[in-house]
Amino acid sequence: MSLCQPFLDAASRRPSHPALVLGGLLDGAPITYGVLREMALRAGAGVAALATDGEPPRVALRLGNGPEFLALFLGTVAAGGVVALLDPKWSEGQSEASLDTLRPALRLTDKTAVGWIAAQPAGWIPPPVDPATPFLIGFTSGTTGRPKAFIRDQGSWLATLEASRVEFGIGPADVVLVPGPLVHGLGLYGAFEGLSAGATVHVQPKFDAADAARRLAGAGVTTLVVVPTMLVGILDAAERHALRFPGLRRVVCSGAKLAPAVHERLTALCPEAAVLEYYGASELSFVSLRASREGAPADSVGRPFHGVELELRDDEGRPAAAGSPGTVWVRSRMLSGGYVEATDGAGYRERDGWGTVGDYGWIDAEGWLRLVGRAGDMLISGGLNVYPAEVEATLRACPAVAEAVVFGLPDPYWGDAVSAVVWWRGGKRASAAELREWCHGRLEGYKAPRRIFTADAMPLTGSGKIARADLRDRARAGGLEELA
């Protein structure tokens, strides 16, 4: 079955049902399934004409959020082509470098997409597509390092749709708000999942926390798909304007763990909503799920996602001893095909049907997975290993701290001096000594931050994650306020 078929079936069943709602809360009429299907099929006709020698044509999209983005994505998938996603926020140099590597048959931007779709013939009928056909080249949106281009086949996302139907249960009666950029995995999959289910999907041209809060309060939205930083912005806006979210039934969140304080604020605004916090990676898809109604420990990332097997392995690649930490390996039908270019060996690795991105964790006696960090993020302070994620989780649990980022700064004695940047919760504050005491009571002493900074603004990557490298560079350069 083609990955596009669930959307086409939904459009055939209810062509007049709203598929997309764009812009502000009251801006314009919704785009129906029938209209979006027609746009997608025109795009598919144009992409199919680009095929040569049986090779799937590559279509590079450098577009913002809008109907053309989704029509081109759906049409390219239906034609058996490959969508290469270029972030509009990239510099011209970054985009050109990616294009030199990808060598697409077609490249479209916001200026050219509308006219190109309109020029394609109507009446095209999608052919059968082998699930092994590649369909997506995306870029990892990591918080450090140069993004890597990964590739997926249609079968991997068909399996992902099957798994998320079980875990999230989104259906044709739902209204899904996806406030983040479609060029990144969370936003693209969230919108695609909603359209495949026959739901109505709301997107914003650009993230607007106040508009998102108003939609959640009054536009019948049942499902929010969001990264933690955007969720905090939405909650801030809702509290400023005294808004509540009575119709919200599920919050699907990924990208980083939600701080306990965010859970509390969300519960106050929409006590009926299930919080579905998943851990995953662009190369792995879903790995685990922490559902608010399942009683998972607050410091865990939950249990294996539907269709996923987990195994912890030691440094020699052997299964880790029961209760011992190890590298998290994943087996499922949702794994990617790896990277487009050769890499230095960091990032995604696959062996005998199992894949890993190097995350390190442990599984408790009840089967809950806890992460302590990624191999490349590990600090060595005084000869001892420190994983930032463990220290960050401890700091976030402090009543005065809303968010925290931990990294190493060069130190002639310690090697890596464990360092943290914290953002305060409301009007609360704490001294460096108080934060260290908090950590000492919950962690081994060597893991407590030796240097602690604060920052007003939270620098973000294009996908809404905290830009750790930027913070570390600013701390090294003396550009952040350091707590005494």
24 pLDDT higher than 70: no
| CATH code: domain of residue 310 | 2.30.38.10
**φ, ψ at 453 (rounded to 5°):** -120, 160
Written as six digits, the tokens of 37 are 């299907």
143 pLDDT higher than 50: no
Q: Tell me the average pLDDT of the chain.
A: 92
Beta strands at 18-21 and 31-32: parallel, antiparallel or unpaired: antiparallel
Residue 25: per-residue pLDDT: 47
Q: What is the DSSP letter of 18?
A: E
Span 198-253, pLDDT tens digits: 999 999 999 999 999 999 999 899 999 999 889 989 999 999 999 999 999 999 99
Average pLDDT of span 374-401: 84
Average pLDDT of span 90-119: 92
Calculate the dihedral angle through the C-alpha atoms of 265, 266, 267, 271, rounding to the nearest 10 degrees: 140
Instruction: Please state, in angstroms and rounded to a whole number, the distance separating the CA atoms of residues 44 and 74.
Output: 8
Domain boundary among 240, 272, 300: 300
For residues 361 and 414, membership in a common domain is answered with: no
For residues 141 and 215, membership in a common domain is answered with: yes
For residues 96 and 176, membership in a common domain is answered with: yes
Residue 188's domain spans which residues? Answer: 5-300
Q: Counting beta carbons within 10 angstroms of the beta carbon of residue 409, is it exposed (0 to 12), middle (13 to 18) or buried (19 or more)?
A: middle
Written as six digits, the tokens of 20 are 């997309």
DSSP calls for 134-202 = EEEEEE---SSS---EEEEEHHHHHHHHHHHHHHH---TT-EEEE-S-TTSHHHHHHHHHHHHTT-EEE
Span 420-458, pLDDT tens digits: 999 998 889 999 999 999 999 888 888 999 999 999 888
Nearest to 243 by CA among 272, 265, 276: 265
| CATH code: domain of residue 430 | 3.30.300.30
Instruction: Please state, in angstroms and rounded to a whole number, the distance separating the CA atoms of residues 396 and 403.
Output: 6
389 pLDDT higher than 70: yes
Domain boundary among 325, 345, 374: 374
For residues 363 and 389, membership in a common domain is answered with: no
Average pLDDT of span 158-187: 97
Task: Please state, in angstroms and as integers, the Cα–Cα distance from residue 377 to each residue in 64, 297, 303, 370, following that order.
Answer: 31, 24, 23, 16
Domain boundary among 342, 374, 406: 374
320 pLDDT higher than 50: yes
The larger pLDDT score, comparing residue 464 to residue 222, is at: 222
Q: Which helix (H) or strand (E) holds 34?
A: helix 33-48
| CATH code: domain of residue 255 | 3.40.50.12780
Report percent pLDDT > 90 for the chain: 73
Residue 187: per-residue pLDDT: 95
- The identity of residue 173, as a single letter, is A
Nearest to 425 by CA among 401, 444, 409, 460: 401
Residue 26: per-residue pLDDT: 45
* CB hemisphere CA count around 272 (13 angstroms): 8
Span 292-302, pLDDT tens digits: 999 999 889 99
For residues 186 and 285, membership in a common domain is answered with: yes
For residues 215 and 69, membership in a common domain is answered with: yes
Residue 349: per-residue pLDDT: 92
For residues 285 and 153, membership in a common domain is answered with: yes
Question: Which residues lie closer than 8 Å to 235 by C-beta, 6 or more apart?
Answer: 213, 262, 265, 266, 269
For residues 325 and 459, membership in a common domain is answered with: no
144 pLDDT higher than 50: no
For residues 290 and 306, membership in a common domain is answered with: no
For residues 401 and 272, membership in a common domain is answered with: no
Instruction: Please state, in angstroms and rounded to a whole number, the distance separating the CA atoms of residues 484 and 480.
Output: 12
Q: Counting beta carbons within 10 angstroms of the beta carbon of residue 2, is it exposed (0 to 12), middle (13 to 18) or buried (19 or more)?
A: buried
Confidence of residue 375 (pLDDT cuts 50, 70, 90): low
pTM greater than 0.75: yes
For residues 210 and 319, membership in a common domain is answered with: no
Span 47-77, pLDDT tens digits: 999 998 878 999 999 999 999 999 999 999 9
Report percent pLDDT > 70 for the chain: 96
Which residues are paired to 82 by β-bridges? 58
For residues 295 and 305, membership in a common domain is answered with: no
Task: Report the domain count for the chain.
Answer: 3
